[in-house]
Amino acid sequence: MSQDILINWSPQETRVAVVEQGAVQEVHLERTLERGLVGNIYLGKVSRVLPGMQSAFIDIGLDRAAFLHVADLMPNIAAKHAAPRASAPAAGDTGQAAGANGKLLTPNPVLPIERQIFEGQALMVQVLKDPIGTKGARLTAQISIAGRLLVFLPQDNHIGVSQKIPPAQREALRQRLLQLTATTDGSAAGGFILRTNAEDATDEELAEDTAYLRKTWLRIKEASTRQPSATLLHEDLNLMQRVLRDLVGADTHSIRIDSREQHGLLTTFAAEFMPDTVAKLQHYSGERPIFDLFNVDEDIVRALSRRVDLKSGGYLVIDQTEALTTVDVNTGGFVGARNFDDTVFRTNLEAAQAIARQLRLRNLGGIVIVDFIDMVREDHRDSVLGEFRKQLARDRVKTMTGGFSQLGLVEMTRKRTRESLAHMLSEPCEACSGKGVVKTARSVCYDILREILREARAFNPREFRVVASAKVVELFLDEERAHLAGLSDFIGKPISLQSEGSMTQEQYDIVLL
């Protein structure tokens, strides 16, 4: 199925929409300030070794030195070391004090860190965790480079397979990759891990990913021989580059980007690593914003709503929780043209298509429970389930779908690949804390009355002052006035009211004066 990819770039945010048959199927976002350092590779400089902690501080050019533990100091490419001094590892040690020839040197993990590295030494490292607060970044010397199907381990010769791939397929995949990655002398140059989405990959796809990863590694090694210490050697791919790597295929018709500068940069990247995609890149210079071409922004707004209206008049209600996502199908205003069974069947068919699209658009992962409208006829259930599976087959993310349960529910799973669209664009409501509902003003009034009675039994203030939202205070001054006066008489203390505009309906404070 032909697809178009639209890229909307701005200095603060990059947005990508995947369009199929004129409808937006996927939305991907990346914000400049939220892009971390994880995956970046630096030529660091050892600024301090801490034998007592078996750790070291590494200068990688950031405001704070990064942290490296001895457990993460494993086979590493050494480049441009500082001149060995008295504190450097002695000859015969397995440390990385030997020259800047790019040779693979293997520190012994059993040796203490002070016998493996020394202050002033240049060391290639990769970021494991971003800096947080006053803590610097966490580093590893075990370099890995992720591709679409594979993870490349340049300092290892092992071929690993994701545990999520069925055991029956693992050995066959391993043998295929061994043959593809073997060098002319029969050895393997670097190790690989087959990612989950490589389960159904062809030899051609695996070979393309292998070539891309090895080319990336050669570029990093070459940079390490000419760059000074504390510099960035490789930055993890940005969203636009990942789009070329992960989303573009033979069915991609065009990739349109609305920034001339970014189009040039992306073309340069594609020409070096993915030359087949260059012809599909286009600079969009139209007057209308690129996302307006397919009403992408409107689809994003609808994707944040619980309710999704169907063309027939029916609708979906989608609720996302931590454990699972539920989808409820309703006929709504659709009354059909013939009979009730036909109405239900047509609504469920349309819902099957819409649900598959919403799962992709919202990037919902994990367990999904779909409550189709009950169908009496077996052939109707089979047709709806077949249509649902057909639509899900277009999803590049792995899905598994069961049949109708005894309760008439369809259970399925969709692999979690990233945060859902709702989690990326929204946050829990301050008023309801994500519950979707708040207590009524009357319920809050009665909570306050109970709390005042509780406080009166424990303390003996001159007066109680209630600070609450305007709606709660208005209710106390009107319909609940008698109850407030009755409590005041009972405890023998005056109760005053103060409206606070910044408080939500459920918030209140009782001040003892």
pLDDT digits (tens, 9 = 90+) for 165-208: 888 888 889 899 988 887 654 445 789 999 887 888 888 889 98
Give the pLDDT confidence of 273-284 residue by residue, as tens digits: 888 899 999 999
Q: With 70 as the cut, is the pLDDT of residue 212 above it? A: yes
* Phi-psi group of 380: left, alpha or beta (phi > 0 → left; psi -120 to 50 → alpha; rest → beta): alpha
Give the pLDDT confidence of 450-500 residue by residue, as tens digits: 999 999 999 999 999 999 999 999 999 999 999 999 999 999 999 999 999
Instruction: Find the mean pLDDT for residues 104-122.
Output: 75
Cα gap 330→354, rounded to integer Å: 13
Global confidence as pTM? 0.72
The pLDDT of residue 400 is: 92
- Strands (DSSP E) contained in 260-354 are 281-283, 307-309, 315-320, 324-330
| Summary mean pLDDT of the chain | 86
The pLDDT of residue 76 is: 40
Q: With 80 as the cut, is the pLDDT of residue 84 above it? A: no
Pick the CATH number of 306-425 from 3.30.70, 3.30.2310, 2.30.30, 3.40.630: 3.40.630
Cα gap 58→136, rounded to integer Å: 10
Dihedral angle over CA of 467, 468, 469, 471, nearest 10: -110
Torsion sign over Cα 449, 455, 457, 460 = negative
Class of domain 441-512: alpha beta
Q: How many CB atoms lie within 10 A of CB 272?
A: 13
**Confidence class for position 35, pLDDT limits 50, 70, 90:** confident
Q: Nearest Cα to 142, choosing from 82, 68, 86, 207?
A: 68
Give the pLDDT confidence of 439-451 residue by residue, as tens digits: 999 999 999 999 9
Cβ contact 26:239 at 8 Å: no
Cα gap 40→71, rounded to integer Å: 19
Cβ contact 159:174 at 8 Å: yes
Could you give the angle at which helices 378-392 and 340-362 cross, rounded to 10 degrees? 20
Place of tokens 């930055």: 235
Torsion sign over Cα 464, 470, 472, 473 = positive
Cβ contact 135:67 at 8 Å: yes
Q: With 60 as the cut, is the pLDDT of residue 413 above it? A: yes
Cα gap 505→439, rounded to integer Å: 7
- Indicate the CATH number for domain 36-235: 2.40.50.140
- Least confident span in 56-60, 93-97, 205-209, 298-302: 93-97
| Fold entry, domain 1-34+238-303 | Nucleotidyltransferase; domain 5 (3.30.420)
The pLDDT of residue 85 is: 35
Give the pLDDT confidence of 312-332 residue by residue, as tens digits: 888 999 998 878 999 999 987
Give the pLDDT confidence of 213-234 residue by residue, as tens digits: 999 999 999 999 999 999 999 9
The pLDDT of residue 135 is: 85
Q: 3-state DSSP: the chain helix, strand, coil percent, rounded to 5?
A: 35, 25, 40
Cβ contact 78:143 at 8 Å: no
**Beta bridge mates, 135:** 132
Structure tokens at 392: 């899900």
Cα gap 124→45, rounded to integer Å: 9
Which one-letter DSSP state was computed for residue 135? Answer: B
Instruction: Find the mean pLDDT for residues 301-305.
Output: 90
The pLDDT of residue 188 is: 53
Q: Where along the chain do its domains lie?
A: 1-34+238-303, 36-235, 306-425, 441-512
Q: Is 45 helix (H, G, I), strand (E, B) or coil?
A: strand
Give the strand order in the sheet containing 281-283.
23-31, 13-20, 3-9, 252-257, 281-283
The pLDDT of residue 477 is: 94
Q: Do domains 1-34+238-303 and 306-425 have the same CATH topology?
A: no
- Strands (DSSP E) contained in 131-280 are 138-140, 145-146, 150-153, 159-161, 191-194, 231-234, 252-257
> Exposed, middle or buried, 35 (CB in 10 Å: 0-12/13-18/19+)?
middle
Report residue 502 CA to chain centroid gap. Answer: 33
Cβ contact 144:152 at 8 Å: yes
The pLDDT of residue 90 is: 32
- Least confident span in 17-31, 34-48, 66-80, 493-507: 66-80
**Confidence class for position 382, pLDDT limits 50, 70, 90:** very high
**Beta bridge mates, 42:** 125, 232
**Confidence class for position 138, pLDDT limits 50, 70, 90:** very high
The count of C-alpha atoms lying within 13 angstroms of the C-alpha of 175, restricted to the half-sphere facing its C-beta, is 5
**Confidence class for position 371, pLDDT limits 50, 70, 90:** very high
The pLDDT of residue 105 is: 41
Greatest mean pLDDT range, 41-50, 205-214, 411-420: 41-50
